[in-house]
Amino acid sequence: MLMKKLLSRKTVSKVASFAVFEGKLTLVCPAEDGNGWISDSAEAASRESWTSAIAQLINTHQLNGCRIRLVLGHGLYQSLVIDKPALPRHELASALPFLVKDLVTEPPANLIADGFEEPIKNKLQVLTAQRALVQQLVLACLANGCEPELITVDEVVLGQVTAEKQSQLILHSRQHSGLHLTAFKQQVMCFQRQLRGFSQPLTGLEQADLQIDGLALELQRSLDFLSAQLRDAPITQVLVSCDSDDNEQLADALRQRLNVPVATVSGAPAELTDFDARVAWAAQLQQPLVNLYSDSLKPQSNWLTLPNLVAGWAAGAVVIGSLAGWQSWQEYRATQLLAQQQARLTQKQTELDNAKAALARHLPSELKVRLSGELEQHLVAKQATLRAIAMHDNSLQAGYAKMLQQLAQAASQDISVSRIHVQGQQLDLEGVARHPNAVPGWLQSFSRYPQLADRRFEVMSLGRNEENRVTFMLQAQRKTEAKP
């Protein structure tokens, strides 16, 4: 049972997201049937009550064992822009608290930070949060059997509701909260701004037109700034997501005052109507562009405990005992095999001795050996004689006059034969030629003469003599001699 506990691993598949804001936590997770999303929220009067609010939501929706993604809302983190340091990505989490220590009031030891490269300039967008705050959320998830895997911020994940290949500006606000502008280039945050001096709702009041005119002016200023910065991918659309207003009415009013298209946010599921639920849903899709859940926050496993030591000793004893038993069995098998091989060796040695004794009784006499050698020599001489007789065919009896006569008829002005050697069907020729091409042409003329047509040459060599004249040598095709 103890070994099973040590070797078992937790299987997690479902992912749930929490949007954490002052006074409220919102949960979003996939529905059980896979169609649609579940959204729920719990009030939190103070940060100390976050733990109970998380436990309430996890237990209500039976999310024990799920992976958790946390989204920190506005006011729970700081956004800073610094020069991009010459550090690898995996060292940023530990180095950033010290790089921004002059820009924040908290000491580096109390901060958790991460960042990403801005699309507009060669700067680093840094996001920091208090370590105690993040640690409280992590411990609340772990206490309820869940595994945190991502901690990010609302303005970063909000890019998931924008178009993937475009640059868009989002006007957004939570219920009874201020207005914010956030621009995204291909879903990566590149600009953020808080708008002050506006009362909400923006529509439906007596001075609504005046407020919207002022809002349109602020939007236009931001659009002008972004058009100068994003020359390769200018803002193509303004999206509206304000919890306190009728977004369709607000978008229509702004559309009449701006030169760019204005629409409501449509990238999020329709059942998620408020800002908190939308950013929690966006965290489900968010790639780890920013992750404040660093290795220093992850729980460290303490394996050096008494039960683990006892289990290790027990496992070691079992392994050692098993190895000893296996070794003993192998030695027994080796002893049995050795005895069998020794018995076979004794038997074969006896058979060898008997064979040697029999061989000694059947050794041939010296006279028989000598006579056998003489007979072999006589047989070799007879075979040589037969091969010599085979070389004398009918052509030797008939003579070579006709062949020489046809060779004379095949004479060429470009060929001069200096040596002729004939033996049976073998004909060797040597001489000089006017030029190298004369020899192949002369050989082709042999086909017109019966005595020469069947002659074959296996070697033809060309060269030059001391007088720089072309010489040739033709050797006849030999018959393969039968081996004795």
Host H or E run for residue 60: helix 50-60
Mean pLDDT lowest among 121-125, 181-185, 335-339: 121-125
Report residue 483's pLDDT band, with 50, 70 and 90 as the boundaries.
Answer: very low
Name the band, by pLDDT with cuts 50, 70 and 90, for residue 45. Answer: confident
CATH architecture of 399-476: 2-Layer Sandwich (3.30)
For residues 430 and 465, give the distance between their C-alpha atoms in angstroms, rounded to a whole number. 13
**pLDDT recorded at residue 481:** 43
**What proportion of the chain, given as a percentage, has pLDDT over 70?**
91
Enter the pTM of the model: 0.60
Query: What dotted CATH number matches 13-297?
Result: 3.30.420.380
Confidence of residue 455 (pLDDT cuts 50, 70, 90): confident
Q: In angstroms, rounded to a whole number, what is the distance separating the alpha carbons of residues 13 and 366?
A: 95
pLDDT of residue 11: 47
Continuous segment of H or E residues that includes residue 134? helix 131-143
Is the distance from CB of 15 to CB of 66 less than 8 angstroms? yes
Q: Given the DSSP bridges, would you call strands 78-83 and 123-130 parallel, antiparallel or unpaired? A: antiparallel
Q: What is the pLDDT of residues 397-406, one digit of tens each?
A: 556 788 888 8
Report pLDDT digits (tens) over 134-167: 999 999 999 998 999 999 999 999 988 898 889 9
Least confident piece of the model among 255-259, 336-340, 425-429, 458-462: 425-429
With cut-offs at 50, 70 and 90, classify the pLDDT of residue 391.
low
Task: Name which residue leads in pLDDT, 9 or 79.
Answer: 79
pLDDT: is 305 or 291 the higher one?
Answer: 291
Task: Quote the pLDDT of residue 140.
Answer: 92
In this predicted structure, what is the pLDDT of residue 202? 84
Task: Parse the chain into domains and list their residue ranges.
Answer: 13-297, 399-476
